[in-house]
């Protein structure tokens, strides 16, 4: 009997922890399936030389109080400029369900985070012979959704890659801005 009492108290206390945080609304909650659409995207793997850049960005975003208790994914854009340099832009995305994934060329996952990929196939990614369905809310149905956005509702970083080395050219992050020179 005493064992049962202690077990009940432990279960009740365990159920109370962590409830002060805001909860992220799952996509399917309050969104009927008729509001949803999907994009069938190529699955990629990011090459190891990009890992330190992604590690830094992920760390900065999760440490920023502006994104506390918000779902976080990223948009990774890569293209070649007229000087044949690889330019990279990475932006965090806290509105993961109303991002239009149909504009993406693929998707990759790194450390549990989804990165929507936009750009040319290049030496930064490796194609995996799979595709994945990414669900999001139809554009026509977004008029009823209101998302709170402060002045700094997202962060973005721009990099120049030359000779397998990344140089940060600018960023906006958690209220900070940096512009390090020409691109």
Which stretches does DSSP call E strand in the chain? 36-46, 73-80, 86-93, 106-110, 113-119, 125-137, 156-162, 165-173, 176-179
- Could you read off the pLDDT of 89-148 as tens digits, one per residue? 999 987 767 778 888 999 999 999 999 999 988 888 998 989 888 888 776 655 544 455
pLDDT recorded at residue 137: 76
Q: Which of 21-25, 128-132, 162-166 has the lowest mean pLDDT?
A: 21-25
Pure H helices in 44-113: 51-63
Q: How far apart (Å, rounded) are the C-alpha atoms in residues 50 and 53?
A: 5
What does the pLDDT look like over 25-45, one tens digit per residue?
444 455 556 778 888 999 999
């Amino acid at each position: 009997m005493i064992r049962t009492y202690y077990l009940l108290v432990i279960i009740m206390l365990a159920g109370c922890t962590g409830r002060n945080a805001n909860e992220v609304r799952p996509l399917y909650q309050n969104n009927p399936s008729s509001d949803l659409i999907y994009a069938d995207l190529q699955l990629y793997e990011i090459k190891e030389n990009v890992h330190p850049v992604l590690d830094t960005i992920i760390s900065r975003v999760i440490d920023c109080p502006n994104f506390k208790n918000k779902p976080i994914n990223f948009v990774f854009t890569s293209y070649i400029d007229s000087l044949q340099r690889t330019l990279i832009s990475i932006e965090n995305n806290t509105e993961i369900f109303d991002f239009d994934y149909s504009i993406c060329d693929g998707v990759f996952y790194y450390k549990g985070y989804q990165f929507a990929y936009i750009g040319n196939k290049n030496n930064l990614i490796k194609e995996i012979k799979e595709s994945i369905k990414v669900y999001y809310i139809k554009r026509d149905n977004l008029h009823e959704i209101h998302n709170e956005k402060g002045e700094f509702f997202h962060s973005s970083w721009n990099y120049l890659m030359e000779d397998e080395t990344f140089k940060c050219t600018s960023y906006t992050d958690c209220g900070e801005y940096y512009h390090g020179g020409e691109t």
